[in-house]
Structure 1
Amino acid sequence: MKDKQNNSLEKVKREQIEPARNEQTYVPVTDIYEKDDAILVRCDMPGVTQDQVDIHLDNYELEITGKQSSEKPEGFDLLLGEYGTGVFKRKFSIPQLIDRDKIRARLHNGVLDIELPKAEQAKPRKIEITTGA
């Protein structure tokens, strides 16, 4: 007979922990910043690696997709599974003209930064006033 007090974490089958399910879709928490010459889109995407992120800008629509992996640590068996994995998806309408050749993206510690430089014609400019008759 097993001593339940000393064996509180017993190995169970994955099917007992969570039923088979389709991939979960998450909406990443996002902040958007703007300055005169660029827009910065910052998304939280924990558990997503650089090769699992896809960013598309089509006309005025920015689409971001990131897939989390559900790999278990090597040599370990799952005892309790509460951490959900799936796909992050988010779409935004970008009302500015963007210089597509200068777009940059960086993923660091689960935070994705996408810098969208404004095209010259979208940047604010000062209009000079002339005098005359």
Structure 2
Amino acid sequence: MTSDMARATDKTPTDAPETPGGGRIYRPLTDIVETDQGVSMMIEMPGVGPEDVEITLENRVLTIRGRVHPTRPETLELVHAEYGEGDFERAFTLSEDFDPDRIEAELRNGVLTLTLPRAPEAQPRKIAVRAA
């Protein structure tokens, strides 16, 4: 059992970038669903509160950042850790099909859901066929 714990500890990501304060920055897992109306993105950011999320859109690049405030009891000493705490950052390049003024974001239970509606001119249209 001890060797299993040592191996689990060795799997801590060492290639994750770091913040200026020495904390890690993780690339959050993201699910993307596309519909005729637009795209929904579900981004996992455990430990991030709504006030700690920053979403920017500049030159068609959508950047999502989430800040985590580590919580460790001061009276306890960490013996083993498998969960790495750190901030989150992810960027996506968007096509011109999306309406930047209607993008919405909601954070619930550690999952940030972004709704990116298509611009009206980019949405599929149904063309009626007339009988001759």
Query: What TM-score does the superposition give when structure 1 sets the normalisation length?
Result: 0.72
Counterparts of 1:30 and 1:24, CA distance in 2: 18
| Percent sequence identity over aligned pairs | 40
Aligned to 2:71: 71
The 2-side partners of 1:59 and 1:123 are apart by: 21
For 1:109 and 1:61, the matched residues in 2 are separated by 26
The separation in 2 between residues aligned to 1:115 and 1:49, in whole angstroms, is 18
1:118: which partner in 2? 118
Q: How many residues align?
A: 110
* Mapping for residues 1-133 of structure 1, pairs under 5 Å: 22-73=22-73, 76-80=74-78, 82=81, 83-128=83-128
CA distance 1:112–1:55, shift in 2 (3 Å): same
CA distance, structure 2, for counterparts of residue 51 and residue 85 of structure 1: 18
- Once the two structures are superposed, residues 76-98 of structure 1 have per-residue CA deviations (whole angstroms, 9 ceiling, x without a partner) of 42311624322101011122422
**Match of 1:34, as an amino acid?**
E
User: For the pair shown, which has the larger CA radius of gyration, 1 or 2?
Assistant: 1
Shift of 1:44: 0.4
Q: Distance between the aligned counterparts of 1:28 and 1:122, measured in 2?
A: 29
The alpha-carbon distance between structure 1 residues 106 and 45, as it changes in their structure 2 partners (threshold 3 A), is: same
Name the residue aligned to 1:16.
Answer: none
What is the one-letter code of the residue matched to 2:60? Y
Structure 2 gaps, min length 5: 1-20
What RMSD, in angstroms, separates the aligned Cα atoms of the two structures?
2.2
Deviating 4+ runs (over 6 angstroms) = none
